[in-house]
């Protein structure tokens, strides 16, 4: 009996774990936790040991293996059909990017140099922008709280189906907090006790019960199935 494979798209950005395995292993304290609950990356402190990327169970960290921003990269044809990758000849090239390339980059986002680790920052530049705007708006008063759901991350903004929701989970009335209260909410690899900030809502499917794999639809493989008295399979509670 063939069980059909079902595919879901699961955007995998930095999960900003509370108990981040990447933070404890960085020898130079380049990746630390902020009071906002973000796992922040200090590019100028990073020496590039790549231990954080190795220890990330989600493998969301990306390393700058070459000088992507200052040297020409990519395949270049020389001598007819013979193609070489320019990044391997970096010392022989001139350093510096053309102005058009520099102008294309977001001025609020640090340009990372060769040898540092980077990852999703939950658009920390937008968070800081919102904080600064809130302080400016507050003026002399102490009311510096950012208005609920007033800004969002770039990925959430770009998603055409609004599949990504960003917000303040400490505020119980924010959109993201309400979504996390649903039963469908789950975190990835939580048995590792990493306490990810990012969580996912399980996809609801409505299979025809007569299909052979109907019982397995929407059930994560890590959950064991229990059979109830009337012979139907139902998933057991997820053990944490």
Partner 1 sequence: METAPTAPRVISDEKPLARVPLVLNKRNFSWLTERISGVVEQPAPRWWWVTFTITATIAAFGVFCLGYQISTGVGTWGLNHPVGWAWDITNFVFWIGIGHAGTLISAILFLLRQKWRTSINRSAEAMTLFAVMCAAIFPGIHVGRVWMAWFLAPVPNSWGVWPNFRSPLMWDVFAVSTYFTVSVLFWYTGLIPDLATLRDRATSKIKKLLFGIFAVGWRGSNRNWRHYEMAYLVLAGLSTPLVLSVHSVVSFDFATSILPTWHTTIFPPYFVAGAIFGGFAMVLTLMLPARAIFKLHDIITPQHVDKMAKIILLTGSFVSYAYAMEFFMAWYSGNQYEKFAFFNRIFGPYWWYWWVGMLFCNALSPQLFWFKWCRRNVYVVYFVCMCVNAGMWFERFIIIVGGLHRDFLPSSWGMFYPTWVDIWTFIGTFGIFTSLFLLFIRFLPMIAMSEVKTVLPESNPHHGPAPGHSPPVIAGKEHA
Residues in touch with partner 1 (CB under 8 A): 12, 21, 24-29, 45-51, 53-55, 57-59, 61-67, 87-91, 113-117, 188-189, 192, 194, 222
Give the integer Cα–Cα distance in Å for 56 and 12.
12
Based on CB atoms, which residue is closest to partner 1, 91 or 160?
Answer: 91
Round to whole Å and give the CA distance between 224 and 235: 6
| Smaller CB separation from partner 1, 22 or 152 | 22
Q: In this complex, which beta carbon is closest to partner 1, that of residue 58 or of residue 122? A: 58
Q: CB-wise, 135 or 203, nearer to partner 1?
A: 203
Cβ at position 140, least distance to partner 1 in Å? 31
Mode of pairing for the β-strands spanning 31-33 and 39-41: antiparallel
Return d(Cα 154, Cα 138) in angstroms, integer.
Answer: 25
Which residue number, 17 or 127, has a Cβ lying nearer to partner 1? 17
Q: Decide if 148 contacts 168 (C-beta within 8 A).
A: yes
We find the least distance from the C-beta atom of residue 224 to partner 1, in angstroms, to be 11
Cβ neighbour number for residue 141 with a 10 Å cutoff: 7
Positive or negative, the CA dihedral 198, 36, 120, 104 is: positive
Report the sign of the C-alpha dihedral through residues 116, 119, 125, 130, in that order: negative
CB of 207 to partner 1, least distance (A): 24
Kindly state the smallest distance separating residue 211's Cβ from partner 1, in Å. 25
Q: How far is the CB of 44 from partner 1 (least distance, A)?
A: 9
């Amino acid at each position: 009996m063939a069980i059909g494979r079902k595919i879901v798209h699961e955007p995998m950005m930095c999960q900003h774990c509370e108990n981040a395995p990447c933070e404890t292993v960085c020898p130079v304290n380049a990746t630390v936790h902020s009071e906002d609950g973000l796992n922040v990356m200090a590019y100028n402190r990073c020496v590039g040991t790549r231990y954080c990327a190795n220890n990330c169970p989600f493998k969301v960290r990306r390393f700058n293996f070459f000088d992507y921003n200052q040297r020409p990269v990519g395949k270049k044809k020389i001598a007819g059909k013979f193609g070489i990758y320019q990044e391997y000849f970096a010392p022989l090239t001139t350093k510096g990017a053309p102005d058009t390339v520099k102008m294309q980059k977001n001025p609020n986002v640090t340009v990372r140099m060769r040898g540092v680790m980077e990852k999703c920052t939950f658009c920390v530049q937008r968070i800081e922008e919102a904080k600064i705007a809130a302080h400016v708006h507050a003026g002399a008063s102490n009311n510096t709280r950012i208005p609920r759901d007033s800004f969002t991350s770039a990925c959430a903004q770009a998603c055409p189906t609004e599949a990504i929701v960003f917000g303040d989970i400490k505020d119980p009335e924010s959109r993201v907090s309400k979504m996390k209260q649903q039963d469908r909410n789950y975190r990835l690899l939580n048995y590792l006790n990493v306490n990810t900030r990012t969580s996912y809502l399980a996809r609801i499917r409505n299979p025809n019960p007569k299909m052979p794999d109907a019982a397995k639809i929407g059930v994560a493989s890590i959950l064991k199935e229990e059979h109830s008295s009337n012979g139907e399979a139902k998933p057991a509670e997820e053990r944490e």
